[in-house]
Amino acid sequence: DGGITQSPKYLFRKEGQNVTLSCEQNLNHDAMYWYRQDPGQGLRLIYYSQIVNDFQKGDIAEGYSVSREKKESFPLTVTSAQKNPTAFYLCASKDGASGSAGEQFFGPGTRLTVL
């Protein structure tokens, strides 16, 4: 089955530790995205990548880093510099073809709690 996966579903870390959230897709999509969602709020874009080996900062990139070494994978690292890292993190991918509908497909999310 084609899809986008995020693991783990729940993640706990101590304050001051870096943590990496995984995102994998087998949809052959060119573009991938990371969003943060806080309770009762919408989606805020952290980083996005339109092609392998290239990525851009979103609206709230400070304290986060990404890499895009493979088309299928777009891991997000939450560093100790992120002041308030506890949140629900969503990864998405999108077909970059010009004739595509343009919608993003989302993973199930990872809920990160920093203690």
Residue number, 5 or 28, with CB nearest to another protein: 5
Angle at 28 between CA 109 and CA 44, to 5 degrees: 35
Encoding tokens for residue 5? 């996966």
Beta bridge partners of 24: 5, 73
Minimum distance of another protein from residue 72's CB (angstroms) = 17
β pairing state of 105-106 and 87-94: antiparallel
Q: Which residues bind to another protein, rule: CB under 8 A?
A: 31, 33, 35, 40-43, 45, 48, 50, 58-59, 88, 90, 92, 101-109, 111
Residue number, 58 or 63, with CB nearest to another protein: 58
